[in-house]
Amino acid sequence: MRPGEQLTLQIENEMEYGYFLTDGEDSVLLHRSEMTEDIGDRDEVEVYLYVDHEERLAATMKIPTINAHTYDWVEVVDVVEDMGAFVDVGLSKDALVATEHLPPFEEAWPKKRRQTLLYAESHKLRQNVRKTSHRRRDQ
């Protein structure tokens, strides 16, 4: 199992804080806060794998709108000087398009509450950061 994979995994066991899922070899935690529906009576569940804030592999039922080597229109949630643009990719936390992946002039950066076309070069979600390029689409 690797970050960025979308898999159907078997439910291994239930804990107070979530479920451990397995592919038959490895296990991963699906925290209750990452569930979009109750899975108590099912044998398997479709999840997206990512690296959480403690650098652990984790699972979510919230499938992102963009994956490695794909394009998608995403909403700009916030723009922070010296950091970049935070965008909604359908996960619990917004992804950061870091300044080094934005145009050199801030006037050309995407604007808050606008749509931006993103290309994900990889599916690394280390602390919810994606390497991207961007274009702006006004709506």
CATH of the domain at 13: 2.40.50.330
Question: What's the confidence (pLDDT) of residue 113?
Answer: 92
Per-residue pLDDT of 88-129, as tens digits, reads: 988 888 888 888 888 888 888 889 999 988 877 765 533 334
| Statement to judge: residues 98 and 75 lie in one domain | yes
| Statement to judge: residues 77 and 49 lie in one domain | no
Higher pLDDT, 14 or 122: 14
| Statement to judge: residues 79 and 107 lie in one domain | yes
Tell me if 53 is assigned to some domain.
yes
Task: Give the domain range for residue 85.
Answer: 71-137
As given in the structure block, the two tokens for residue 117 are 């076309």
Question: What's the confidence (pLDDT) of residue 106?
Answer: 82
- Sheet with 129-130, side-by-side order of all strands: 129-130, 95-98, 84-88, 71-80, 115-120, 132-137
Instruction: Please answer whether residues 33 and 58 qualify as being in contact, where contact means their C-beta atoms are separated by less than 8 angstroms.
Output: no
Instruction: Please answer whether residues 45 and 35 qualify as being in contact, where contact means their C-beta atoms are separated by less than 8 angstroms.
Output: no
Tell me if 66 is assigned to some domain.
no
User: Residue 125 belongs to a domain with what CATH number?
Assistant: 2.40.50.140
Per-residue pLDDT of 20-78, as tens digits, reads: 999 999 999 999 999 999 887 778 999 998 888 788 899 999 988 887 777 888 899 99
Q: How far apart are CA 73 and CA 51, in angstroms?
A: 23
DSSP tag of 14: E
| Statement to judge: residues 56 and 75 lie in one domain | no
For tokens 């499938």, name the residue.
63
Q: Give the three-state DSSP class for 75.
A: strand
Number of domains in the chain: 2
